[in-house]
Chains A and B, each alone.
Chain A
Amino acid sequence: MAQSNPPFMSGVPELLVLRLLARKEMYGYELVKAIRVVSEESIRLGEGVVYPALHALERSGALRSRRKTVNGRARVYYRATAKGRKRLAQLTGEWKRVSGGIRAALGTGDA
């Protein structure tokens, strides 16, 4: 199940978490399901590791959490803060630059 490659995947879960939580407030399980959908199941993490990532992002001020009861279930909901959106813009730029470089390299290699 846990097919993560921490050295290569560094920053990717953070990018996805911030991207999704900048759009909508979500709780952990909802977020994991959303990651599977938006990544078309290509990114599969042990679901438990999302919580250290969420807590660390919250601690750094990128996320804010609140406990909310919906349909009788109390859950911790997370949303991106202004600082988190700034971090998202930075990570998105870095990722686009890296992926552009890899695409260019692969294109050159194929030619």
Chain B
Amino acid sequence: MPDSALSRIERDLRRAGVAHRYARRAALELREHCQDIEADALARGCPPDAAAREALRRIGQVEDIVAAAAARRELRSLLARLAPAAASLHAWRLRHTPSPAARGSWLRWSVAAGGGATATLTLLAAMQISLSLG
């Protein structure tokens, strides 16, 4: 399998929310898998280009591999797992934070807005840390 195809798989897996270490491992193991298919085909007497084509055919579509990995919750990065929670929290904060004009309570608005913002920022910081750790 060409390195460009493997890089594409790793990149697409990461874009689909798969944790970096699993994306890297998948690309590495797929490379070894293709080498095994090609070695078997060459041993059967296939020419090198036919062996390479057989490896690509048998490994399947990149989209299928990415979809299979993205469907596995266990393989998602912390960022991918936290993103829906952060979005929900932000939506909840928007719904439940009263405006000072409507409620007339500056203190109540400040506490609610501050608490919601702190929680959102904490989640975003955790996501940033997960990104930097890979």
Tell me the A residues contacting B by CB distance below 8 Å: 1-2, 27-29, 32, 45-49, 51-53, 55-56, 59-60, 73, 75-76
Contact = CB atoms under 8 A, between A and B. Distances in A.
Contacts of B28: 76
Contacts of A52: 22, 26, 65, 68-69, 71-72, 75
Contacts of A59: 22, 72, 74-75
Given A46-B65, A55-B75, A76 B59 contact: no
Contacts of A45: 60
A47 B22 contact: no
B interface secondary structure, majority = helix
Interface range, B side: 20 to 34
B72 A48 contact: no
Given A1-B57, A55-B22, A76-B25, A49 B75 contact: no
